[in-house]
């Protein structure tokens, strides 16, 4: 297969030195390189680039080197940017994985796109319940199982292969392409914000558009993503006695912090899931008729979503309502309580200090600073009514903003056109319920427009056991990226 | 000091072969052996007899051997009873520490008392915040700091020294004395119930009274303990989706188990600490005038109790009310939640299955089986009102009964008389807020009367950092036990 494609390249080279866009040829090239792409993914998945595990840091450094190597091989201008080190809880410091930046072309007559991706992964162990070895890419019925396959190694490779295909066929890259690939995304993109800020006037100065492919489709139908929710993460700490107390010996004589915490947490959400914190719901933009229509067109099966989660009943049984509450309405989730007894078994303790952890996924028109005040005011008000002798402290520890793109932006027209060309259908226009903070950083620091162009499958199991990428999404996704580069190049032309 | 006391023994032996009770001589003997007693405690504290740590099991076996050896040295009939093994979570089994039973005297004309105690300890590490090495008994201003010093090694030694003193002075033991010393108390007296049951008609057949000294005074004044609360420990499990979900991606589409759990837990207790579960408060026996008067006489400083705990305000500022709610009223404590995020930091999870853990310390006139139904009915009723698609399961995993003695029983008269003789004051008559399940086992299986005769200090810090036993309580406690044996012997005589 390799030989055949090399022959093809030679034949094509007989034409002209650098030729113009030929989608059919590129598609053929991708199809004939499927096994090589799978092999490349296998090599990347084999690296345990778990950014949360400090003992795996060497693997992460090796991973970044492999990314740089891959980009250099196809003649990119590649740099490994040192972004410093992180402080560990024991006081020592550990080098952060370098960020790989690369550039293909610097033709000032062309637009420049910057592709963002990451190659670090969430932790994974066979014992967690994987059916296969998580770091050994395993093909079962066309699904490629392995940690990081979908999040985010295959999409990054697909982008590299897209550029590689143009080069291999000696086709002119229709736009200049830059890459920014990091290795700390899963633990909060440590060091990246500062790097983006520092390169605002150099690396990013000529970037026109930023493309992020760190998400997935909603169904088997391709999708373009135009929004994400934000994330306001709170600690509500109630502090009482100086130290934990024996519940038998002291129970009945102190107002317990845990009782107070449960009491105030219970005032935030109604049994049916309505947010009761004053001001939150009021801030949400009204749902327009146009939006309603758009949601109606989205391919999404409520019943299979319900079955997949294994719940008897969802909060909304109507597709539009459900998607709207997943993407464009805020939600409150209580994640857990620190400081109380959480192990299996029984322990008769009155915890002295407990920290309730919850988050509000906020949506456009909601400002984290305002949400912080609303939550704090509300909790302090209900706490005051309890007349408790304990102390309450409310802190917002994350205030990641939502991101919303203008669907009328040419980036999205280009996306629709590329999907049409590769898949012969219209894409779903979707949002993400989760938060991708880097999108907002790019937007705020560089002022550039962003599109999220996912190729991950709806059932890829990111962060879960048995994460996978299908051959279909991987290969057709590569073609989509190829087509998209061409479509983006048309933006300036029109 | 050793030499002097041996001389004393020789001098006394010139009198008669076995002589009758001489409190002054016994007290002098104890005073002159203080350093030996401290040394004995030092040797016992040096053994890391942590029953919860399976890697320390050899130490525990050694500890039981030391107890047996100590009792044999003073000519007791000693047996190490094999009570089998425990199952470990990994499926393997581990030998339980043998129970030491011993007997001093079998004169059928005398009453027989059985002293219960334990020599296993709670875990302790210097890093936990100890000012001294926990297994190296350290004397600071007359306080003997060390893990297990008060709970329960010094009291067990004090009982052995009490018997030893009689023997050393060749004084007739006024009652037959039996010992039952175990090594698994801190982890639930594994295997002991079955052993007591099996020895009901042998070892326990001639026992008249059981004495437990596994508790403490309420102040600097000696106390007799006549009651403990029970403990109904509950798991309330709410189960929703098949697996944990990403709160961004899925939040807003499912009714979260955590919201349900917080909601139902919040219906059990009012902000001021009143139990709201129907039937619980109604079951509590009314507080009699006599009881009120008795509580009034107890030496207890509410303000120093408050300061010690470090709270701004207690549930009750009145001494009688406070003690009543500590001892003879039930209380609900929420200990924590299993299955939710409890680590430091932030994690954006919707936990799929959460288990709320809480306990009700119930009091006499409350039956655990009834409490179980009241709690289950209540939680299921409030859960049903929420119309949640999630599933609720309520389980009572511990149903330990309270214990209450008859204060008019001669055992308590004997206790008062002994305190009067040694301390020249009236003891406080107190209860324990916690549960000592073995008391109820003894009561139910053997049908014998029980007294709790504490010598631990009110500030000994059981289960905490810097556990200690004061020389004062240790030495005067030994004298109290000596006097008590004599007083008990008078019960039959009168």
B273-307 as b/e: b if 16+ CB within 10 A: bebebeebeebbeeeeeeeeebbeebbbebeebbe
What are A55-103's pLDDT values in tens digits?
999 999 999 999 999 999 999 999 999 999 998 878 899 999 999 999 9
User: Cβ contacts (< 8 Å) between A227 and chain B: which residues?
Assistant: none
Q: Is residue A186 part of a domain?
A: yes
- The domain boundary, picked from B350, B383, B399, lies at B399
What is the overall mean pLDDT for chain A?
Answer: 93
The answer to the question of residue A48 being in a domain is: yes
Nearest residue, CB atoms, B341 vs list A336, A346, A433: A336
Residue A4 pLDDT greater than 60, yes or no: no
Tell whether B46 is within 8 A of chain A (Cβ): no
In a shared domain, residues B348 and B429:
no
Query: Residue A448 is encoded by which pair of tokens?
Result: 């550039």
| A150 secondary structure, DSSP code | I
**8 Å CB contact of B247 and A463:** no
Q: Which domain holds residue A223?
A: 2-228+402-493
Other C-beta atoms within 10 Å of B116: how many? 27
Q: What are the two backbone dihedrals, phi and then psi, of residue B239, each rounded to the nearest 5 degrees?
A: -120, 130
Are the C-beta atoms of residues A217 and A425 closer than 8 Å to each other? no
| pLDDT for residue B175 | 97
Helix, strand, coil shares, percent, chain A, to 5: 40, 20, 40
Please tell me whether A107 is known to bind a ligand: no
The answer to whether B284 faces chain A, any CB pair under 8 Å, is no
- Residue B79's CATH number: 3.40.630.10
Among candidates A231, A341, A346 on the partner chain, residue whose Cβ is nearest the Cβ of B348:
A231
Query: Per-residue pLDDT for chain B (494 aa), expressed as one digit of tens each?
Result: 334 444 444 444 444 456 778 999 999 999 999 999 999 999 999 999 999 899 999 999 999 999 999 999 999 999 999 999 998 878 899 999 999 999 999 999 999 999 999 999 998 999 888 999 999 999 999 999 999 999 999 999 999 999 999 999 999 999 999 999 999 998 889 999 999 999 999 999 999 999 999 999 999 999 999 999 999 999 999 999 998 999 999 999 999 999 999 999 999 999 999 999 999 999 999 999 999 999 999 999 999 999 999 999 999 999 999 999 999 999 999 999 999 999 988 888 899 999 999 999 999 999 999 999 999 999 999 999 999 999 999 999 989 999 999 999 999 999 999 999 999 999 999 999 999 989 989 999 999 999 999 999 999 988 888 999 999 999 999 999 999 999 999 996 44
User: Which residue's structure tokens are 């297969």?
Assistant: A1
| A240 vs B: CB within 8 A | yes
- B315 contacts on A by Cβ (under 8 Å): 252-255
B161 is known to lie in a ligand binding site: no
Answer yes or no: do B9 and B119 share one domain.
Answer: yes
- Known binder of ligand: residue A118? yes
- Which residues between 47 and 76 in chain A have a beta carbon less than 8 angstroms from any beta carbon of chain B? none
β-bridge partners, A396: A234
Probe site for chain A from B123, B232, B251, B434 (most A CB atoms < 10 A)? B251
The answer as to whether A436 is a domain residue is yes
The residues facing B216 across adjacent strands are B456
pLDDT at A2: 38
Q: Inform me whether the pLDDT recorded for A339 exceeds 80.
A: yes
Q: What's the average model confidence in pLDDT over A234-250?
A: 94
Reported as a single tens digit per residue, the pLDDT across A17-65 is 567 789 999 999 999 999 999 999 999 999 999 998 999 999 999 999 9
As a whole number of angstroms, the distance between CA B333 and CA A249 comes to 12
Residue A233 has pLDDT above 90, yes or no: yes
Q: Which CATH number belongs to the domain containing residue A263 in this structure?
A: 3.30.70.360
User: What residues of chain B lie within 8 A of the CB of A348, using their CB?
Assistant: 231, 233, 333, 335, 359, 434
- A229 and chain B in contact, CB less than 8 A: yes
- In this structure, are A135 and A257 located in the same domain? no
Question: Distance between CA atoms of A4 and A25, rounded to whole angstroms?
Answer: 14
- Choose from B90, B312, B342 for mutation: most chain A CBs within 10 A: B342
- Of B347, B374, B399, at which residue does a domain stop? B399
**Claim to verify: residue B440 and residue B334 sit in the same structural domain:** no
Assess whether B193 and B276 both reside in one domain.
no
Q: Find the residue in B nearest to A319 (Cα).
A: B253
Interatomic CA distance for residues B209 and A134, integer angstroms = 64
pLDDT, residue B12, reads 45
Q: How many helices (H) and strands (E) does chain B have?
A: 15, 20
Residue B446 lies in a domain: yes
Half-sphere exposure of B373 (CA within 13 A, CB side): 5
Check CB contact of A322 with chain B, cutoff 8 Å: yes
Q: How far is CA B202 from the centre of its chain?
A: 26
| CB-based contact B430:B327 (threshold 8 Å) | yes
Question: Do the Cβ atoms of B162 and B228 come closer than 8 Å?
Answer: no
What residues contact residue B303 under an 8 Å CB cut-off, 6+ apart? none
Q: Is there a contact between B246 and A309 (Cβ–Cβ < 8 Å)?
A: no
Q: Are residues A209 and A244 in the same domain?
A: no
pLDDT of residue B465: 87
**CA separation (Å) from B337 to A128, A258, A337, B235, B382?**
22, 10, 7, 9, 19
Establish if A308 belongs to a structural domain.
Answer: no
Phi and psi at residue B31, in whole multiples of 5°?
A: -55, -40
- In whole angstroms, give the CA distance from residue B63 to residue B182: 10
* CA distances for A330 relative to A277, A279, A324, A327, angstroms: 11, 12, 10, 8
- Tell whether B375 and B483 lie within a shared domain: no
Q: Assess if residue A300 is contained within a domain.
A: no
A409 is in an annotated binding site: no
A199 and A173 within one domain: yes
Rounded distance between C-alpha atoms, residue A208 and residue B460, angstroms: 71
Residue A374 scores a pLDDT above 60: yes
Report how far residue A377's alpha carbon sits from residue A370's, in angstroms, rounded to the nearest whole number. Answer: 10
Interface of A with B in 343-402 (CB under 8 A): 343-344, 346-351, 357, 359, 361, 385-390, 397-398
Subunit contact B335:A347, Cβ cutoff 8 A: yes
Shared-domain flag, residues A332 and A462:
no
CB contact under 8 A, A253 and B435: no
Looking at the DSSP assignment, which residues form a beta bridge with residue B182?
B118
Interface contact A336-B336, CB threshold 8 A = no
Cis-peptide, bond into residue B343, ω within 30° of zero = no
Both tokens of residue B160? Answer: 């052995």
How many contacts does A have with B, using Cβ atoms within 8 A? 266
Would you say residue A405 has pLDDT above 90?
yes
- Which residues 6+ apart lie within 8 Å of A311 measured at CB? B240, B241, B254, B255, B389, B390
**Number of independent structural domains in chain A:** 2
Q: Looking at the domain assignment, is residue B297 inside a domain?
A: no
- The answer to whether the CB of A162 falls within 8 A of the CB of A478 is yes
Strand positions, DSSP E, B119-185: 138-140, 143-145, 176-182
- Residue B62: which H helix or E strand, with range? helix B57-73
Q: What would the mean pLDDT of A464-472 be, rounded to a whole number?
A: 94
Q: Which positions in chain B touch A344 (Cβ < 8 Å)?
A: 338
A185 tagged catalytic: yes
**Is A164's Cβ below 8 Å from some Cβ in B?**
no
On whether the CB atoms of residues B70 and B37 are closer than 8 A, the answer is: no
For residue A56, give Cα distances in angstroms to A122, A129, A180: 12, 21, 22
Residues 455-494 of A with CB under 8 A from B: 462-464
Residue with tokens 């000596």: B482
Assess whether B22 and B159 both reside in one domain. yes
Q: pLDDT tens, B146-170?
A: 999 999 999 999 999 999 999 999 9
Q: Is B129 on the interface with A (CB under 8 A)?
A: no
Is B289 within any annotated ligand binding site? no
| Assigned domain for A317 exists | no
Q: Please tell me if residue B281 touches chain A, with a CB cutoff of 8 Å.
A: no
Contact B258 A331 (CB under 8 A): no
Nearest-CA distance B265 → chain A (Å): 7
Judging contacts by C-beta atoms under 8 Å, the chain A residues touching residue B314 are 253-254, 389
Answer with the one of A346, A374, A400 that is the final residue of a domain: A400
Residues B224 and B235 in one domain: no
Q: Decide if B303 touches A, using CB distance below 8 A.
A: no
Examine the domain organization and report whether A410 and A366 are in the same domain.
Answer: no
């Amino acid at each position: 297969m390799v030989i055949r494609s090399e022959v093809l390249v030679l034949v094509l080279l007989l034409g002209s030195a650098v030729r113009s866009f030929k989608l059919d040829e590129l598609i053929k090239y991708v199809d004939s390189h499927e096994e090589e792409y799978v092999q490349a993914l296998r090599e990347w998945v084999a690296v345990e680039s778990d950014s949360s595990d400090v003992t795996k840091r060497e693997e992460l450094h090796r991973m970044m080197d492999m990314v740089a190597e891959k980009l250099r091989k196809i003649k990119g201008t590649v740099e490994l940017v040192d972004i410093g080190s992180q402080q560990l809880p024991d006081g020592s410091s550990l080098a952060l994985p370098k960020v790989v930046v690369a550039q293909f072309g610097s033709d000032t007559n062309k637009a420049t796109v910057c592709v963002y991706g990451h190659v670090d992964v969430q932790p994974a162990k066979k014992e967690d319940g994987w059916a296969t070895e998580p770091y050994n890419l395993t093909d079962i019925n066309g699904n490629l199982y392995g940690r990081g396959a979908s999040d985010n190694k295959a999409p990054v490779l697909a982008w590299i292969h897209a550029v590689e295909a143009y080069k291999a066929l000696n086709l002119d890259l229709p736009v200049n392409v830059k890459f920014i690939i990091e290795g700390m995304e899963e633990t909060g993109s440590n060091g990246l914000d500062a790097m983006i800020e520092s390169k605002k006037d150099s690396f990013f100065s000529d970037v026109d558009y930023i493309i992020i492919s760190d998400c997935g489709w909603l169904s088997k139908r391709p999708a373009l993503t135009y929004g994400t929710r934000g994330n306001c993460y709170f600690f509500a700490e109630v502090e009482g006695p100086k130290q934990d107390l024996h519940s038998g010996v002291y129970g009945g004589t102190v107002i317990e912090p845990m009782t107070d915490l449960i009491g105030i947490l219970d005032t935030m959400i109604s049994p049916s899931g309505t947010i009761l914190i004053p001001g939150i719901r009021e801030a949400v933009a009204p749902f327009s008729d146009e939006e309603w229509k758009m949601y109606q067109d989205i391919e999404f099966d409520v019943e299979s979503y319900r079955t997949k989660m294994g719940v008897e009943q969802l909060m909304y049984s109507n597709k539009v309502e459900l998607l709207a509450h997943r993407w464009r309405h805020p939600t409150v989730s209580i994640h857990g309580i620190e400081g109380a007894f959480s192990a299996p078994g029984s322990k008769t303790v009155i915890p002295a200090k407990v920290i309730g952890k919850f988050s509000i996924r906020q949506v456009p028109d909601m400002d984290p600073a305002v949400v912080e005040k609303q939550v704090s005011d509300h909790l302090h008000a209900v706490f005051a009514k309890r007349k408790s002798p304990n102390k309450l402290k409310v802190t917002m520890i994350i205030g990641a903003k939502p991101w919303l793109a203008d669907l009328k932006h040419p980036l999205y027209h280009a996306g629709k056109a590329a999907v049409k060309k590769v898949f012969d259908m219209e894409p779903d226009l979707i949002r993400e319920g989760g938060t991708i903070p880097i999108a907002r950083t790019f937007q705020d620091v560089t002022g550039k427009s962003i599109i999220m162009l996912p190729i991950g499958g709806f059932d890829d199991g990111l962060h879960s056991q048995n994460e996978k990428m299908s051959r279909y999404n991987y290969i057709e996704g590569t073609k989509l990226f190829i087509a998209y580069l061409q479509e983006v190049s048309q933006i300036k032309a029109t």
